[in-house]
Structure 1
Amino acid sequence: MDTDRIDTFSRYLPPGPNATRWGWRLIDAGRQQVPPGSPYPLTGHPLPYAFDKNGRRTLSEYQLVLITAGGGHFQSRSCRERSVSAGDTLLLFPGEWHRYRPGPRTGWSEYWLGFEGTEASRIMKNFFSRSRPIQPGAYTDEAIHIFERLLDWLRHPRPGGEQVAASFIPQLLALLRAGSIAAGAPRAREQELVMAVRARLLENPAERTALSSLAEELGVSYSLLRSLFRKHTGHSPRQFENLIRLNRARDLLAAGSSVSATAESLGYASVHYFSRAFKQQFGQAPQHWMRERSGQ
């Protein structure tokens, strides 16, 4: 999409009957282009969204503002004044004063949405911070695509559209989270290593992975690999491998495989060892689990 020129569009939505129960509520959304030297914000927004004489504003909702062209400045109670540019996303928190505006020489183009809800509050609390309201652009094209789909739903209301429109909010937040991880090289490298180990462990549950050789192949020591894997998954690589085998065993038993055949197909040294590991993980021996599952 050509982000050098976008048409202005906005919607401010009253709450529907299912807004509270859904966990996500879209309050407002839109896009606009602010030419260089223009007043900001442009006219047409409700009074509660206006900035005061000091250029500040405090909202009762979360907002997400994606800058797609141009640049400017941002400041909030928890963040000193910073420059922002195309690709950056501003996260605004309820009850937190903030001020931002495009540069007089550059202007900017933006997409925005406002939202609230129990699920929204949980995600914002656990994955985003008031002290880091400027999110770097890593998946800007994908975010623009989601915004355009959202605005299309707002332009052409359909039955159930309130929930469909709200579903775009967690998609955008997930992209922001992924972009934040990708922007931090050391953390991105950690994620890359963990994903590589997970993929290898999932390849063949019947084979015991040579973890030291895998660490060497990935260019790290086994102790570092084990530490990073536990940090990101809560399990050591070997524990994770055992969980994969036992979950696979449960699937095979549910599909009608015998205990002995399941133990053999997954590489267990004996039925006794398999049964003991199964009971430790699921609280029942495989024979009891199968009988209970079949209702016998």
Structure 2
Amino acid sequence: MYHTWMRYFTPSPAHHRLGLVCLGVGLQHGALPVVGPRVLDHHVAVVISAGRGWFRGADGRRRTVTAPALLWLTPGVTHHYAPDPDTGWDEAFVDFAGSATAAYAELGYIDPDRPVVALTDTATARTAIGRIVRAARQGNPFLEVETAAAVHELLVALRQVRAGTGSGGHPVLQALARDAFQPLSVAEHAARHGMTPAELRTAVRRGAGCSPKDYLLGIRLGRAKELLVGTELPVSAIARRVGYEDPAYFSRLFARRVGTAPVRFREQQCRSVPGGFTDRVPDPARPPTIPPCGPPDDARLGEARLSGG
């Protein structure tokens, strides 16, 4: 005995140009029938919340599946799977496609080489799938865009709950982020963690889907943008604050990645704000707000916006 609910969608060419579209969603539980062997022309994420079973991919090797787990079904690859006929399993699946899948695979969010992935839990993934289920109501004019947005959310959720990744993220990434503004080479960062440069590259690629150099560059340029917009510091001082002793080198990096020079970026972004700017980054848990009691004067308004109080 098993129970199944599913819906399938046919997004228009305009929706496909969003880069990612949802083609279907389903919720099933019980002693479900065997799937395959078959080959699909799109991706499917099968999230197993309870139970156990087996999976056989293109290599012919039979793998045990024990919840919580994820099955990646990738285009053009043979797959064959089923729950244990005695226990069954609880699954939710999402079919999706689009040009953005290539970038997600490059960044490590989709892993064609690991068709069976152990998860720490499935709650956040099921929340994203629930958004797709609710969007699937009849007559929803936002169906394709809502479901596409939820697929992005699902891919992030599945990346976060892979077994072996703590809730706070990869410790090497946390350490790199903490030390990102120090003028250290990749080799020096690796030595701080007792790793070779190759080992550090492998760890960062696994955790962030990019090289250590690109990971550090993203953090540094993000902070540089904040300082360009929020302060009147010269570009040379900002370069030093984010880890570059050579302002000219920093400016070339900035222009190559951002598409415009630091000075031009500042000119485009700067605005007049009552109370002026601050270089202190507010606590994300206490975003800048206007006090609810009475109309504050200009000074208090500026302070409220800057301090988060």
TM-score relative to the length of structure 1: 0.66
Secondary structure in 2 matching 1:152: helix
Which residue matches 2:77? 96
Q: Please say if residues 73 and 101 of structure 1, whose CA atoms lie closer than 8 Å, have aligned partners that are also in contact.
A: yes
How many residues matched?
247
Between Structure 1 and Structure 2, the one with more helix by share is 1
- Pair 1:257-2:226 in alignment: no
C-alpha deviations, 1:29-87, integer Å up to 9, x for none? 1101124xxx616xxxxxxxxx5xxx522222211111122211110213511111221
Structure 2 residue corresponding to 1:16, chosen from 12, 17, 25: 12
Structure 2 residue corresponding to 1:199, chosen from 152, 166, 178: 178
Alignment-mate amino acid for residue 251 of structure 2: F
- Pair 1:234-2:234 in alignment: no
TM-score relative to the length of structure 2: 0.63
Which residue matches 1:47? none
Secondary structure in 2 matching 1:139: coil
Q: Please say if residues 79 and 133 of structure 1, whose CA atoms lie closer than 8 Å, have aligned partners that are also in contact.
A: no
C-alpha deviations, 1:237-274, integer Å up to 9, x for none? 9xx59x84x875665454562539x849x779xxxx97
Which residue matches 2:194? 224
For 2:7 and 2:84, how far apart are their aligned partners in 1? Answer: 25
For 1:89 and 1:183, how far apart are their aligned partners in 2? Answer: 14
- Pair 1:135-2:113 in alignment: no
Secondary structure in 2 matching 1:175: helix
Deviates more, 1:127-136 or 1:88-97: 127-136
RMSD: 4.3
CA 1:282 to 1:30, structure 2 compared with 1: closer, same or farther past 3 Å? same
Structure 2 residue corresponding to 1:148, chosen from 124, 130, 136: 130
CA 1:199 to 1:21, structure 2 compared with 1: closer, same or farther past 3 Å? same
For 2:161 and 2:191, how far apart are their aligned partners in 1? Answer: 28
Deviates more, 1:110-119 or 1:191-200: 191-200
Which residue matches 2:64? 83
C-alpha deviations, 1:128-180, integer Å up to 9, x for none? 44332001112311111211221111135422220110222222222333333
Q: Please say if residues 249 and 263 of structure 1, whose CA atoms lie closer than 8 Å, have aligned partners that are also in contact.
A: no
- Pair 1:278-2:247 in alignment: yes
CA 1:195 to 1:40, structure 2 compared with 1: closer, same or farther past 3 Å? same
Q: Please say if residues 39 and 75 of structure 2, whose CA atoms lie closer than 8 Å, have aligned partners that are also in contact.
A: yes
Task: Name structure 1 gaps, 5 residues minimum.
Answer: 1-5, 42-50, 203-207
For 1:82 and 1:234, how far apart are their aligned partners in 2? Answer: 33
For 1:73 and 1:25, how far apart are their aligned partners in 2? Answer: 28
For 1:107 and 1:278, how far apart are their aligned partners in 2? Answer: 62
Deviates more, 1:78-87 or 1:117-126: 117-126
CA 1:56 to 1:17, structure 2 compared with 1: closer, same or farther past 3 Å? same
CA 1:156 to 1:224, structure 2 compared with 1: closer, same or farther past 3 Å? farther
Q: Please say if residues 78 and 131 of structure 1, whose CA atoms lie closer than 8 Å, have aligned partners that are also in contact.
A: no
C-alpha deviations, 1:273-296, integer Å up to 9, x for none? 97xx22221149xxx96489659x
Q: Please say if residues 29 and 113 of structure 1, whose CA atoms lie closer than 8 Å, have aligned partners that are also in contact.
A: yes
Summarize the alignment of residues 24-63 of structure 1 with structure 2, pairs less than 5 Å apart.
24-35=20-31, 40=33, 55-63=36-44
Q: Identity, % of aligned pairs?
A: 25
CA 1:109 to 1:191, structure 2 compared with 1: closer, same or farther past 3 Å? closer
Which residue matches 2:88? 107
Computing the radius of gyration over CA atoms, which structure comes out larger, 1 or 2?
A: 1
Q: Please say if residues 128 and 151 of structure 2, whose CA atoms lie closer than 8 Å, have aligned partners that are also in contact.
A: no
- Pair 1:173-2:155 in alignment: yes
Which residue matches 2:295? none
Alignment-mate amino acid for residue 116 of structure 2: I
Q: Please say if residues 34 and 40 of structure 1, whose CA atoms lie closer than 8 Å, have aligned partners that are also in contact.
A: no
